[in-house]
Amino acid sequence: MNKDHAIGFGLGLLTGAVIGGVIALLYAPQSGKETRQQIKDKAAKVADTLTEETSGVIDTVKEAVSEANRRGQAAVHALKG
């Protein structure tokens, strides 16, 4: 599985987990105040997870750009050589 498929799968999995969690909270037998607090807590967790995942994707993109730049410079140097 390539990186694009892995990222897509991860985002789909995360989205499904969030939707499932919200549905579970909405059908839970508890007060509205408790439900809103749980939703707030879950949203904070999701935001933290997204921040971590996004930073990982950014690092991967930076590495790919750096590698492409290095290869491009090597190709230019070889042509001048």
How far is 35 from 30, CA to CA, in rounded Å? 7
Helix, coil or strand: residue 16: helix
What pLDDT score was predicted for residue 60?
82
Residue 1 has pLDDT above 70, yes or no: no
| Residues 25-42, mean pLDDT to the nearest whole number | 81
User: Could you give the maximum distance between any two Cα atoms of the chain, in Å?
Assistant: 74
| Residues 18-43, mean pLDDT to the nearest whole number | 81
* CB 18, CB 41: distance < 8 Å: no
How do the domains of the chain map onto residue ranges? 3-80
Predicted confidence band of residue 34 (pLDDT cuts 50, 70, 90): confident
Higher pLDDT, 25 or 71: 71
Average pLDDT, the chain: 82
Closest C-alpha to 50, from 20, 1, 7, 21: 7
| Residues 35-52, mean pLDDT to the nearest whole number | 84
* CB 57, CB 7: distance < 8 Å: yes
